[in-house]
Chains A and B, each alone.
Chain A
Amino acid sequence: MLMPKRYHIYEEDEIVSLAGTTADNRVRIEEFLSHESALLSMHNYAAWADLLTDDITYIVPRRVSRKRGRGEAEFEELMAHFDDNAATMAIRIKRLCESTALWAEDPLSRVRYHHSNMRMRQLESGNDNANEWLVVYNLLIVRNRGDQPDSDLLSAQRQDVLRETSTGFSLAKRLVLLDHAVIGAHNLSFFV
């Protein structure tokens, strides 16, 4: 697969080496991600923003359906459903926290984040003050809203980089590799 340059997709042979994480670290990382997703489900974006590093990159690239076996890129480098850094994330969060005109989220969506098949390892990119962890896992988002009987489903693999300092974990990178070329929801008024 051709690799985009603006972000790195960890291939399975890199991910499979994510062995040897102690049970203690696994529990701490799983608890952090459960807390982080709970804040999103609660629409508590002010608290959620505190979990992001100042150099956060948050990218949900456009998946393209390709003929198998040709090695053509399945994710676009410069087209994404989200392509945010701390500055644009601040705009999204200010809007969500302060606007009185959030029509797409009134009533609020009920968004549930399901994590599974989680693998992790410490990266060499850390330093004396911070450890960095790569966490790769499956994501299933179920969004229901209002009195509609049908729910939106989004299925993906997340590749997160968490940074751990003396004050705990924060999210430094989030790459969301959607299973969808065409999004089956009328909007993404929530984070994926």
Chain B
Amino acid sequence: MDAKVDGVDGFEAIRQQVENGFMPLHVYNDQQVFDAELRKIFAKTWNFLGHESEIPQPGDYVTRFIGPDSFIVSRAEDGQIRALFNACTHRGMQVCNNEGGNTQEFLCPYHGWVYDSAGELRGVPHQRDIYGAEGFDRSQNGLINIRLANFDGMLFGCMDPEAESFEEYLGDFAWYLQLITRRSGAGLKVMGAPQRWVANADWKLGYDNFVGDGYHTIVSHQSALEGGALPFEGAEFLKYGIQINAGKGGLGLAEVPPVEGGGWPAEIFAGIEQRLTPEQGLIYGMGGGPVYLPGHGGLFPNFSFLNAASALEIGGPPIPYLTFRVWRPIAPGRVEIWSWCLVEADGPPEFQEASYRGYALSFGASGVLEQDDTENWTSISLVAKGQMAHQLALNYTMGMKSGVEPLADWPGPGTAYPTDYLEENSRKFYQQWITYLMA
């Protein structure tokens, strides 16, 4: 970043452009922006780490990341889940170098310090001889715990001891996340480990796309329609959808295709009126209106979800599936994509498998939709590295002058608009982004 946009003055210039609906292109591949993002966003916010169903038993753990920082998300013998900084307190070596499993202890291979699954330091070879009988307090040398929040099974971690609570951070967006987490009384469970792959693309582009880009579907994903994975007449359904921003998140709703119950087995919804408010129930047609898929959305800074549907045969009915995402920043213009598939834990096994297979056909690195998404984001990030990227501010003004007005009678919190062809959620994302960078 050159001098005129460096530091606070530079961010002020970006802030003014964002305020006017424009986004300087270079921010998608810029070392100084990236360094500031790690320090001022990822170190300060609540980040999605995984789902409790990934570690159901005492001793289960998975290894997760916030940017470059590694954490062991562990369920200890007491049943409690913790997020432990994956670094030996002696020399900083990772005490876990695999993706997950079940263990009673994490052994540092350098000098043999041993931690239990709660992160307590349990053993130091030759401790008494080398530190003295009173010279070393193991209880003060355990793995660092970061703050962890469990929202209906969704695990979020925060590295900043001073940041607001997760509940405050989540704010009004809880109302919308519950539509997904409380659809079934048993909640959600993961289908295996998340897929992971890397792309030369900026982390913000994936989030931006999932939170607010209903507009790209018809062009980017035309081939999924032509192949039959998207079993619809056209891909403009999101034009007639609803876009909402609430708290630190946003989402888009699309009316589900006219199939019984939106394609979910009816038993999943049993007793849902006990779990959702009547206002939330309206989204699922409980007032007699249309049924909506809480289709695509995200929570700042880099958690996304997609609740869409895929056919499993040409001409077949749409099967709903759910994916959670983390767009893990690796380097300027480089992201590691984490993609979970989740199902209702008490759904019929045949539906769970069909839902997973629809996900695997449509999303992930080989997905007939997603393979075209990463193509777009890679190209943008390549262009963003050049000098001309400092001259081009991208047009994010969709809906600012079209006359679109918020829905006056919307039953939920936040602000809802009667179309999902709108860049309001993207603008809100970048406003939050620049606010954190300038804090």
A residues bordering B, Cβ < 8 Å?
A: 60, 62, 64-67, 70, 72, 76-84, 87-88, 90-92, 94-96, 98-104, 181-189
Docked-complex contact B196 and A181, CB < 8 angstroms: yes
Q: How far is the CA of A80 from the CA of B363 in the complex (A)?
A: 11
Docked-complex contact A187 and B368, CB < 8 angstroms: no
B316 close to chain A: CB less than 8 A:
yes
Chain B 281-320: CB-based contact to A (< 8 A → 1; otherwise 0): 0000000000000000000000000000001111010000
Docked-complex contact B196 and A82, CB < 8 angstroms: no
Q: How far is the CA of A73 from the CA of B365 in the complex (A)?
A: 22
Docked-complex contact A78 and B365, CB < 8 angstroms: no
A-B contacts, 22 of them at CB < 8 A, read A62-B192, A64-B100, A64-B193, A65-B99, A77-B192, A79-B192, A79-B195, A81-B366, A83-B357, A88-B357, A91-B313, A94-B227, A95-B228, A98-B227, A99-B222, A101-B372, A103-B220, A104-B371, A181-B99, A182-B196, A186-B375, A187-B199
Docked-complex contact A186 and B99, CB < 8 angstroms: no
Partner of A72, one of B101, B314, B357: B101
Shortest beta-carbon distance from B358 to chain A in Å: 8
Docked-complex contact A94 and B192, CB < 8 angstroms: no
Within 8 A of A (CB), among B316-366: 316, 336, 341, 353, 356-357, 360-361, 364-366
Chain B 365-398: CB-based contact to A (< 8 A → 1; otherwise 0): 1101011101110100000000000000000000
Q: How far is the CA of A182 from the CA of B356 in the complex (A)?
A: 19
**B interface majority secondary structure:** mixed
Docked-complex contact B99 and A64, CB < 8 angstroms: yes
Q: How far is the CA of A76 from the CA of B224 in the complex (A)?
A: 26
What residues on B are CB-neighbors of A183 within 8 Å?
195-198, 365
Docked-complex contact A95 and B227, CB < 8 angstroms: yes
Q: How far is the CA of A185 from the CA of B371 in the complex (A)?
A: 10
Q: How far is the CA of A188 from the CA of B372 in the complex (A)?
A: 10
Shortest beta-carbon distance from B207 to chain A in Å: 17
Partner of B193, one of A62, A91, A96: A62
Given A95-B229, A183-B197, residue A87 in contact with residue B366 (CB < 8 A) = no
Docked-complex contact B226 and A188, CB < 8 angstroms: no
Given A62-B193, A78-B353, residue A67 in contact with residue B103 (CB < 8 A) = yes
- Chain B, residue nearest A101 (CB): B222
Partner of B361, one of A70, A84, A101: A84
Q: How far is the CA of A182 from the CA of B328 in the complex (A)?
A: 13
Docked-complex contact A95 and B226, CB < 8 angstroms: yes
Q: How far is the CA of A107 from the CA of B60 in the complex (A)?
A: 45
What residues on B are CB-neighbors of A83 within 8 Å?
356-357, 360-361
Q: How far is the CA of A181 from the CA of B63 in the complex (A)?
A: 13
Docked-complex contact B314 and A87, CB < 8 angstroms: yes
What residues on A are CB-neighbors of B274 within 8 Å?
none
Q: How far is the CA of A83 from the CA of B58 in the complex (A)?
A: 31
Q: How far is the CA of A78 from the CA of B366 in the complex (A)?
A: 15
Docked-complex contact B99 and A66, CB < 8 angstroms: yes
Docked-complex contact A88 and B312, CB < 8 angstroms: yes
Shortest beta-carbon distance from A108 to chain B in Å: 13
Q: How far is the CA of A64 from the CA of B63 in the complex (A)?
A: 11
Docked-complex contact B101 and A187, CB < 8 angstroms: no
What residues on B are CB-neighbors of A64 within 8 Å?
99-100, 193
Given A66-B98, A83-B356, A91-B229, residue A186 in contact with residue B196 (CB < 8 A) = no
What residues on A are CB-neighbors of B197 within 8 Å?
182-187
Q: Which of A60, A78, A186 has its CB near the most chain B CB atoms (within 10 A)? A: A186
B74 close to chain A: CB less than 8 A:
no
Q: How far is the CA of A62 from the CA of B371 in the complex (A)?
A: 17
B200 close to chain A: CB less than 8 A:
yes
Chain B 192-220: CB-based contact to A (< 8 A → 1; otherwise 0): 11111111110000000000000000011
Q: How far is the CA of A96 from the CA of B366 in the complex (A)?
A: 13
What residues on A are CB-neighbors of B312 within 8 Å?
87-88
A-B pairs with lowest CB-CB distance, top 3: A95-B227, A79-B192, A183-B197
Docked-complex contact B223 and A91, CB < 8 angstroms: no
What residues on B are CB-neighbors of A185 within 8 Å?
197-198, 365
Q: How far is the CA of A63 from the CA of B191 in the complex (A)?
A: 14
Q: How far is the CA of A183 from the CA of B337 in the complex (A)?
A: 10
Given A79-B193, A81-B365, residue A94 in contact with residue B314 (CB < 8 A) = yes
Docked-complex contact A91 and B314, CB < 8 angstroms: yes
Q: How far is the CA of A139 from the CA of B437 in the complex (A)?
A: 46
Docked-complex contact B372 and A103, CB < 8 angstroms: yes
Beyond known contacts A70-B103, A72-B102, A185-B198: 6 more, CB 8 A cutoff: A62-B195, A79-B191, A90-B228, A91-B368, A95-B368, A100-B222
Q: How far is the CA of A92 from the CA of B99 in the complex (A)?
A: 31
- Chain A, residue nearest B201 (CB): A186
Shortest beta-carbon distance from B319 to chain A in Å: 11
What residues on A are CB-neighbors of B341 within 8 Å?
79
What residues on A are CB-neighbors of B353 within 8 Å?
78
Docked-complex contact B366 and A187, CB < 8 angstroms: yes
Docked-complex contact B365 and A99, CB < 8 angstroms: no
Chain B 219-242: CB-based contact to A (< 8 A → 1; otherwise 0): 110111011110000000000000
What residues on A are CB-neighbors of B371 within 8 Å?
104, 187-189
Partner of A186, one of B199, B227, B229, B364: B199
Partner of B364, one of A70, A81, A98: A81
Shortest beta-carbon distance from A93 to chain B in Å: 8
Given A67-B101, A90-B313, A91-B314, residue A186 in contact with residue B366 (CB < 8 A) = no
Q: How far is the CA of A80 from the CA of B366 in the complex (A)?
A: 10
